[in-house]
Chain A
Amino acid sequence: MLEALHYILADSRATEDDRVDTVSAPTAARRTGDAATRGLSLTIRGLRKSFGDNDVLRGIDLHIPAGQFVTIVGKSGCGKSTLLRLIAGLDAPTGGSIAFGEQRQQGDVRVMFQEPRLLPWARVLSNVEVGLGATRNSPDARNRADAALIEVGLDDKRSQWPAVLSGGQKQRVALARALVSQPRVLAFDEPLGALDALTRIAMQRLLEQVWTDQGFTAILVTHDVAEAVALADRVLVIEDGRISNDILVDLPRPRQRGSAQLAALEGEILRDLLKGSEGAFEL
């Protein structure tokens, strides 16, 4: 912890704010365009990541078209979170490259974690304003934060403390905070992992809804294969540091939960995950 703090305060590395590049396309025009094409595409080549001599990712090659909803599944410890952190720019890769379709700007790539990570000492609305990055002190910050709260259906909680919210509500505030900068890539690391089954389903619907409305590229890591097939255009399976399976889910939305097609796909992916690990299955 101490090291983390020292690193944080002494560190003058480029933070997201510094990486802002002036890009030819005017932001406003791009953002008011066709919602379905607002996402950024993503090309990953030969991506590797090691911690000491633990080679977690051993060469990931992947192209994600703009606006696609991708879910990533795999055994615990296979490197899903690691991959997501690399995509979000939170950690530096050991090798390989990640390129976005256009130059990314501040607020273009957002992450949501399993923990909501709300500031307990800031009211709900201020927590959402944090998501605006450097523009959080601008005059329309409040309105934009309010709009994001309305989007996740929590505008009546805007002046509450996070401590009084339920787990699902906290996660919705975190979603509003991620959405408020109108990201073009949104990465989720098991955001629903800590929620009960009913809240989970409601949140899955909400995620699908905002994704349809806003047209960002969505990358969702999950343990729940049913969730993965219900939400995704495409399911990626990671094994031994590589993408071992890449499955297109070409089913119309909204999808009927428990339908035969979804169940069949789910079974196929589960078998794939379990194969070769009988007896040695690691939870």
Chain B
Amino acid sequence: MSLVETLARPRAWRLPRPDGLIQWIVPLLIILVWQAACMFGLVSARVLPAPTDVVVAGWKLLQSGDLAKNIWVSFWRASVGFAIGGAIGFAFGLANGLSSLSSKLSDTTLQMVRNVPHLALIPLVILWFGIDEQAKLFLVALGVFFPIYLNTLHGIRTVDPQLIEMGRIYGMSNLELFRRVIFPGALPSVFVGVRFALGIMWLTLIVAETIAASSGLGYMAMQAREFMLIDVVVLSILIYALLGKAADSASRLLERLTLSWHPAFQKS
């Protein structure tokens, strides 16, 4: 076997690209400093448990099955609420962007509703739905609706009119014009809406689960507080952070795949 071959081999399973690792350096450093601070007694365990304690607490909850169940419940609420609110927001965005009748009918109303912070509806929602699943789904869907609606609408309204005229000149039907010109032109803006919506989705879910729930991560954290289990409280917060990051990464990936034409996504 030649030397070249043996040298070439490690490349087949090389480590992730350095760019991918760099972003994790700071979180890792924070955890190390945190661990050190706890071990040397700079921070009392009642204020902030050491990362290792959090891991142990997580491990226990994992073994009892509670952790997986609560994560699943929260994840389910987040995705179903997002799907419902996102789909409705997208549909209204399309309708109001494409038809002046629809826009005249509903845009003013929607803009008015938008100015009510959706979390202010929590008391009303509890009266309507109690602490059932519908309550959480309703709040998440409502929170997600507006960023998606507004950005879809904006995206459609700002499609280059010269491109639309070009499509007309070359004989595109309405459907084709939508598929080839308007929709792709609005897509970058829709993704901006999705990223905003993901942030609002987690925020809404945390608040809703802390106030009105009997399962889920927020509920787990609230219950742990009652029993002074600070390690579980911190664990829940960390899991929220990780889920939020995962959702954001997923939307970025989708964006990279669908917007590969966009100069901002082209490899140099």
Contacts and interface: CB of A to CB of B under 8 A. Distances in A.
A10 B99 contact: yes
Given A15-B171, A163-B263, A163-B266, A113 B180 contact: no
The interface residues of chain B, by DSSP majority, are classed as helix
A177 B163 CA distance: 14
Interface residues of B, number: 37
Contacts of A121: 184-185, 187, 259, 261-262
Interface string A39-78: 0000000000000000000000000000000000000000
Contact of A117 (B97, B163, B260): B163
B171 A134 contact: yes
B171 A163 contact: no
A117 B169 CA distance: 11
Interface string A116-146: 0101111100000011011000000000000
Interface stretch (A1-9, A96-104, A209-217): A1-9
Contact of A6 (B99, B177, B178, B187): B99
Given A1-B161, A5-B97, A120 B261 contact: yes
A131 B259 CA distance: 23
A111 interface: yes
A113 B156 contact: no
Given A119-B181, A120-B261, A130-B180, A2 B173 contact: no
Q: Which of B100, B166, B185, B261 has the most CB of A within 10 A?
A: B166
A59 to B, nearest CB: 27
Nearest to B185: A121
Given A119-B180, A133-B171, A2 B100 contact: yes
A111 B165 CA distance: 11
Nearest to B263: A163
B158 interface: yes
Contacts of B185: 121
Contacts of A134: 171
B266 A161 contact: yes
A5 B263 contact: no
Contacts of B187: 121
A113 B99 CA distance: 28
Contacts of A163: 261-263, 266
B52 interface: no
B171 A111 contact: no
B170 A131 contact: yes
A180 to B, nearest CB: 10
Interface string A176-211: 010000000000000000000000000000000000
B162 A113 contact: yes
B172 to A, nearest CB: 8
A164 interface: yes
B166 A117 contact: yes
B168 interface: yes
Q: Which of A1, A9, A121, A130 has the most CB of B within 10 A?
A: A121
A150 interface: no
Nearest to A123: B261
| Interface size, A (range) | 35 or more
Contact of B174 (A1, A2, A9, A110): A9
A122 B180 CA distance: 9
B235 to A, nearest CB: 43
A90 B166 CA distance: 10
Given A119-B180, A122-B180, A88 B98 contact: no
A133 B166 CA distance: 11
A164 B266 contact: yes
A272 interface: no
B164 interface: yes
Contacts of B100: 2-3, 6, 10
A106 B169 CA distance: 10
A106 B172 CA distance: 12
B157 interface: yes
Nearest to B102: A6
Given A5-B97, A119-B180, A90 B164 contact: no
Interface in B91-109: 97-100, 103
Contacts of B170: 16, 130-131, 133, 177
Q: Which of A4, A9, A10, A162 has the most CB of B within 10 A?
A: A9
A17 B260 CA distance: 32
Q: Which 4 A-B pairs have the closest CB atoms?
A: A133-B171, A6-B100, A121-B184, A117-B166
16 contacts: A2-B103, A5-B157, A6-B99, A6-B100, A8-B164, A10-B99, A16-B170, A17-B171, A107-B171, A121-B185, A121-B187, A130-B180, A131-B170, A133-B170, A163-B263, A177-B170
